[in-house]
C-alpha cells in the first residue's frame, strides 16, 4: 500500500514522512482514530515508505521487490498482532499465528478492515476477541531475532484496546526499549481500555475522521455515480469501510434499510445533530429516491406492527430487517403506528410539492421521536 492509495489524511502522511526526513522517528507510534478513517492503511503505507529503497520524497515506489512483498503482506520483517479468539484448549498455545492466514486474506481484501468485519471472517458466534498473553511472548521472541531483510523490523498491533492487561504488561519493557531498528505501530480507536503505562510509552498521532468531501471524492474516483456518491458520503460519517459496503450494494433497498434503521435509532435517542445531518443527506437524494425511501419506511412500520400482532408468519422482512425489528417492534403499537404512517404519508406528499426537504425531514424526525417514545 502506498500513501497515494490511502484516502485523505494528508496531514498525517505529511507528519509521518517528516518524522523520517528529520530522523525523529519514535520507536513506538500509536495511530489513534475512528474505524473507517484509515489507521491500518496508513500504517501499511508508512511501513512501505520506510522500507522502500527507491522512495521519492512523498511515497514509496510501489514497484520494487520490497514494496511488492509488503503489498502482498509477505514481507518477513512485518509482523501483525490482532484480536482473535482461542483455538486451542490449552491457553498457552493461543497466539496470532493461528490466524495469520485469515488475517492476511481479510486485510488484502479490505485494508479498511474493522473489528466487526474481521470477526465475521473468523466466527459466526459472539466469541470474545482478545490479544492474549502468549502473543506477547511471541512478539518479544520474534523481535529479538535479526532482521530477515536487513532493515527495520515492524510490529503492527492492530486494535490495541484488545490487549489484555497481562499482555500489555508483558510488552511494556520491549515497547519502552525495543531492539535496534524496530518500530512498533499500535492502532486503536479509543484509549479508555488501554493501560496508561502503554499510552505513556507511545507517541500518539490522532487520525481524524474522514470528511464527507474526502469520502465523496474517493467514491467519484472509484467511478460511483455522482448522486449515489453524494448520498453515501453524507450517510457514512467518514467511515470508508461503510462507504465501500454501500457501493457494493447495487440494489438501493439495502441502502434504505441501513438509512431507515439509523434514522429510527437517532429519532428514538433524539440525537439532534445526527438528525440534522441525516436530513441533509436526505436532501441530496433525488425526488424519486426520497419518495422511494418514505415508501420503504411506511412498509417497515407496517411490517413491525404486523409482527407484533402475528408473532412472525405474515411479515416480509429480510435478515437485516428482522434483526433490527427484534429491538424496534416493541416500540410500535396500533396507536403510534397510525400516526407514524400519517406523518410519513404527509411527508411523501410534501416531497412532491417541492417543499424544502431538509426542514421537512428534520421536522418529521422530531414528530417520530415523540411518537416512538410515547407509551401506548
Ligand atoms: Zn519500493
Phi-psi region of 285 (alpha: psi -120 to 50; beta: other; left: phi over 0): beta
Tell me, what CATH number does 350's domain have? 1.20.272
Is the same domain home to 202 and 254?
no
Distance 301 CA to ligand 1 centre (A): 55
- Of the chain, the percentage scoring pLDDT greater than 70 comes to 97
Is the same domain home to 177 and 300?
no
Q: Is residue 229 part of a domain?
A: no
**17-59: per-residue pLDDT in tens?**
999 999 999 999 999 999 899 999 999 999 999 999 999 999 9
Q: Which of 4-13, 56-65, 307-316, 333-342 has the lowest mean pLDDT?
A: 307-316
Distance 276 CA to ligand 1 centre (A): 45
- Cα–Cα distance for residue pair 154/51, rounded to 1 Å: 10
Band (313; pLDDT cuts 50, 70, 90) = low
- Cα–Cα distance for residue pair 284/358, rounded to 1 Å: 9
Tell me, what CATH number does 115's domain have? 3.40.50.300
- Residue 370 or 320, more confident: 370
Q: Is residue 132 part of a domain?
A: yes
β-sheet with 78-81: strand ranges across:
78-81, 153-158, 182-188, 28-32, 203-206
Residue found by looking up cell 509482523 in the block:
79
Q: Which of 191-205, 315-329, 355-369 has the lowest mean pLDDT?
A: 315-329
DSSP reduced 3-state for 137 = helix
- Cα–Cα distance for residue pair 68/78, rounded to 1 Å: 13
Is the same domain home to 195 and 336?
no
Is the same domain home to 165 and 281?
no
Protein residues near ligand 1, an ion, with CB under 5 A: 52, 54, 60-61, 64, 67
Mean pLDDT of 234-239: 77
Name the residue among 297, 294, 366, 375 with its Cα closest to residue 335: 375
Q: Is residue 38 part of a domain?
A: yes
Cell representation of residue 281: 443527506
CA gyration radius, the chain: 24
Q: How far is CA 234 from the centre of its chain?
A: 15
- Cα–Cα distance for residue pair 139/13, rounded to 1 Å: 27
Is the same domain home to 185 and 99?
yes
pLDDT at 250: 56
Cell representation of residue 291: 419518495
Distance 52 CA to ligand 1 centre (A): 4
- Cα–Cα distance for residue pair 371/376, rounded to 1 Å: 9
Cell representation of residue 151: 532493515
Among residues 206, 232, 262, the one where a domain terminates is 206
Query: Which residues, other chains included, contact 323 with Cβ-Cβ below 8 Å and sequence gap of 6+?
Result: none
* Average per-residue pLDDT for the chain: 90
Among residues 188, 206, 224, the one where a domain terminates is 206
Q: Is residue 281 part of a domain?
A: yes
Distance 55 CA to ligand 1 centre (A): 6
- Cα–Cα distance for residue pair 89/245, rounded to 1 Å: 35
Domain count, the chain: 2
Q: Domain range holding 262?
A: 249-373
Q: Is residue 226 part of a domain?
A: no
Q: Is residue 221 part of a domain?
A: no
- Residue 295 or 316, more confident: 295
Is the same domain home to 264 and 335?
yes
Mean pLDDT of 341-351: 91
Is the same domain home to 195 and 253?
no
Contact indicator for 161, 193 with CB cutoff of 8 Å: yes
Contact indicator for 194, 38 with CB cutoff of 8 Å: no
Mean pLDDT of 356-367: 93
Q: Which of 72-81, 93-102, 250-259 has the lowest mean pLDDT?
A: 250-259
Q: Is residue 142 part of a domain?
A: yes
Is the same domain home to 171 and 99?
yes
pLDDT at 249: 67
Distance 51 CA to ligand 1 centre (A): 7
| Helices 252-269 + 272-283 axis angle, to 10 | 150
- Can you list the positions of beta strands (E) in 269-353? none
Is the same domain home to 164 and 68?
yes
Distance 73 CA to ligand 1 centre (A): 14
Is the same domain home to 81 and 148?
yes
Mean pLDDT of 192-216: 93
Distance 149 CA to ligand 1 centre (A): 14
Q: Is residue 323 part of a domain?
A: yes
- Cα–Cα distance for residue pair 198/195, rounded to 1 Å: 5
Contact indicator for 106, 118 with CB cutoff of 8 Å: yes
Q: Count other Cβ atoms within 10 Å, centred on residue 214.
A: 20
Distance 241 CA to ligand 1 centre (A): 27
Distance 82 CA to ligand 1 centre (A): 26
Is the same domain home to 15 and 100?
yes
Among residues 181, 206, 231, the one where a domain terminates is 206
- Whole-model pTM over 0.75: no
Is the same domain home to 83 and 171?
yes
**123-178: per-residue pLDDT in tens?**
877 788 999 999 999 999 999 999 998 899 999 999 999 999 999 999 999 999 99
Distance 71 CA to ligand 1 centre (A): 10
**250-296: per-residue pLDDT in tens?**
555 677 888 899 899 999 999 999 899 889 888 888 887 888 899 88
Distance 131 CA to ligand 1 centre (A): 31
Distance 65 CA to ligand 1 centre (A): 7
pLDDT at 320: 78
Contact indicator for 333, 308 with CB cutoff of 8 Å: yes
Amino acid at each position: 500500500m502506498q500513501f497515494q492509495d490511502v484516502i485523505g489524511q494528508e496531514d498525517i502522511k505529511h507528519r509521518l514522512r517528516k518524522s523520517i526526513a528529520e530522523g525523529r522517528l519514535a520507536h513506538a507510534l500509536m495511530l489513534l482514530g475512528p474505524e473507517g478513517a484509515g489507521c491500518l492503511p496508513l500504517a501499511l503505507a508508512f511501513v512501505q515508505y520506510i522500507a522502500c529503497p527507491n522512495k521519492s520524497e512523498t511515497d514509496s515506489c510501489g514497484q520494487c521487490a520490497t514494496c511488492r512483498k509488503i503489498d502482498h503482506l509477505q514481507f518477513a520483517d512485518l509482523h501483525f498482532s490482532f484480536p482473535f479468539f482461542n483455538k486451542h484448549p490449552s491457553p498457552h498455545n493461543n497466539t496470532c499465528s493461528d490466524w495469520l492466514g485469515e488475517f492476511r486474506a481479510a486485510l488484502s481484501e479490505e485494508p479498511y478492515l474493522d473489528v466487526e468485519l474481521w470477526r465475521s471472517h473468523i466466527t459466526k458466534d459472539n466469541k470474545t476477541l482478545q490479544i492474549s498473553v502468549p502473543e506477547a511472548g511471541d512478539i518479544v521472541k520474534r523481535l529479538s531475532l535479526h532482521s530477515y531483510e536487513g532493515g527495520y523490523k515492524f510490529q503492527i498491533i492492530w486494535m490495541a484496546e484488545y490487549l489484555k492487561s497481562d499482555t500489555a504488561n508483558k510488552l511494556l519493557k520491549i515497547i519502552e526499549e525495543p531492539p535496534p531498528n524496530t518500530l512498533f505501530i499500535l492502532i486503536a480507536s479509543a484509549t479508555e481500555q488501554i493501560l496508561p503505562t502503554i499510552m505513556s510509552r507511545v507517541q500518539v498521532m490522532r487520525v481524524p475522521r474522514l470528511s464527507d468531501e474526502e469520502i465523496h471524492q474517493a467514491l467519484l474516483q472509484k467511478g460511483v455515480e455522482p448522486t449515489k456518491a453524494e448520498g453515501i458520503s453524507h450517510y457514512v460519517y467518514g467511515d470508508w469501510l461503510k462507504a465501500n459496503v454501500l457501493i457494493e450494494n447495487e440494489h438501493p433497498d439495502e441502502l434504505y434499510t441501513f438509512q431507515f434503521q439509523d434514522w429510527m435509532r437517532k429519532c428514538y435517542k433524539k440525537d439532534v445533530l445526527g438528525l440534522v445531518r441525516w436530513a441533509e443527506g436526505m436532501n441530496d437524494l433525488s425526488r424519486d429516491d426520497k419518495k422511494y425511501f418514505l415508501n420503504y419506511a411506511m412498509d417497515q412500520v407496517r411490517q413491525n406492527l404486523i409482527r407484533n400482532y402475528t408473532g412472525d408468519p405474515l411479515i416480509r422482512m429480510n435478515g437485516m430487517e428482522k434483526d433490527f425489528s427484534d429491538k424496534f417492534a416493541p416500540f410500535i403499537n396500533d396507536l403510534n403506528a397510525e400516526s407514524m404512517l400519517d406523518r410519513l404519508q404527509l411527508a411523501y406528499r410534501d416531497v412532491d410539492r417541492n417543499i424544502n426537504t431538509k426542514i421537512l425531514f428534520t421536522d418529521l424526525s422530531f414528530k417520530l421521536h415523540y411518537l416512538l417514545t410515547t407509551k401506548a
